[in-house]
């Protein structure tokens, strides 16, 4: 684990922010390429980008606070209230950000007469590719860590922020591997002539479904603290809801006449 790349008296360069920047650049590049290929107007996204990013951060923060209420509401005081706005403490929920982003993107598309489903098909592969890179940053930061494991690839983290002093699952690396695999599979699937005959939204929904399923399975290897409901981790519960919802959507939208427009 190497959370800091460079440190001086006036500047600290955190590894996680370096990988986050690389993730944003890579995801944006992939998005531009896919958008141009699918004849989508990038100006629509750029015109709404600031608001969508802000809404995503708010959604990510709200769900993180909800899932870790005991951390943020351990006492009622001005200090704890102000801490709710300190997003630099890395208290952000991935699912909160994704859900908020796509909900508001849907309404923006309706208002601007854009095809939401075509946007979904290019945004989801790009987003999952960016997430793959961001997961490497999480590994070096020591967040989203795993639970104890005897597997030969288990790792030791020397950090007071990690509650285990024994080898643990490199859950961040698992996330990197399956995110990269999903992103690659979606790109290859989009080249299929049969898939191209389907209604828009198939690639995006398949991507969301696969990511939610594997995110759910990854939860069994996670050891970081979160809110539990009947023994299940909150992120797993959200992932299962997303997986079931996307599965129902796929069935209703595409289980008609085969390859019907």
User: pLDDT tens digit string along 93-140?
Assistant: 777 888 888 999 999 898 888 999 999 999 999 999 999 999 998 898
What's the count of helices (H) and strands (E) in the chain, helices before strands? 10, 4
How, if at all, do strands 12-14 and 232-233 pair? unpaired
User: What average pLDDT does the structure give for the chain?
Assistant: 84
Residues 72, 83 contacting (CB under 8 angstroms): yes
Torsion, Cα 230 242 112 254, to 10 degrees, reads -150
Check pLDDT > 50 for residue 159: yes
What are the φ and ψ backbone dihedral angles of 123, each rounded to 5 degrees? -75, -40
Confidence of residue 204 (pLDDT cuts 50, 70, 90): very high
Confidence of residue 215 (pLDDT cuts 50, 70, 90): very high
pLDDT at position 89 is 57
Spans of all domains in the chain: 4-40+115-254
pLDDT at position 217 is 95
By C-alpha distance, which of 224, 186, 180, 226 is closest to 203? Answer: 186
Check pLDDT > 90 for residue 69: no
pLDDT at position 261 is 43
pLDDT at position 259 is 43
As a whole number, mean pLDDT of residues 23-39 equals: 90
Check pLDDT > 60 for residue 90: no
- Between 104 and 2, the more confident residue is 104
pLDDT at position 83 is 59
pLDDT at position 152 is 94
- Between 94 and 23, the more confident residue is 23
In the 8-state DSSP scheme, what is residue 142?
A: T
As a whole number, mean pLDDT of residues 16-45 equals: 89
């Amino acid at each position: 684990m190497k959370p800091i790349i460079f440190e001086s008296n006036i500047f600290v360069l955190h590894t996680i922010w370096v990988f986050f920047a690389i993730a944003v650049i890579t995801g944006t590049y992939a998005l531009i390429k896919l958008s141009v290929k699918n004849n989508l107007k990038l100006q629509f996204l750029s015109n709404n980008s600031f608001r969508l990013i802000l809404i995503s951060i708010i959604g990510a923060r709200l769900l993180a606070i909800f899932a870790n209420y005991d951390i943020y509401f351990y006492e009622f005081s001005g200090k704890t209230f102000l801490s709710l706005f300190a997003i630099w403490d890395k208290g952000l929920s991935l699912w909160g950000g994704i859900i908020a982003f796509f909900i508001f993107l849907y309404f923006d598309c309706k208002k601007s007469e854009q095809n939401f489903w075509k946007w979904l098909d290019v945004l989801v592969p790009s987003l999952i590719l960016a997430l793959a890179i961001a997961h490497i940053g999480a590994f070096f930061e020591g967040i989203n860590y795993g639970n104890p494991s005897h597997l030969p690839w288990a790792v030791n983290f020397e950090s007071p922020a990690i509650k285990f002093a024994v080898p643990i699952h490199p859950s961040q690396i698992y996330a990197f591997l399956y995110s990269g695999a999903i992103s690659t599979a979606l790109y290859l699937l989009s080249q299929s002539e049969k898939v191209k005959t389907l209604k828009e939204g198939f690639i995006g929904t398949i991507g969301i479904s696969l990511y939610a399923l594997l995110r759910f399975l990854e939860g069994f290897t996670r050891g970081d603290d979160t809110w539990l409901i009947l023994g299940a981790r909150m992120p797993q519960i959200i992932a299962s809801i997303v997986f079931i919802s996307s599965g129902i959507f796929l069935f209703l939208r595409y289980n008609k006449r085969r390859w019907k427009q």
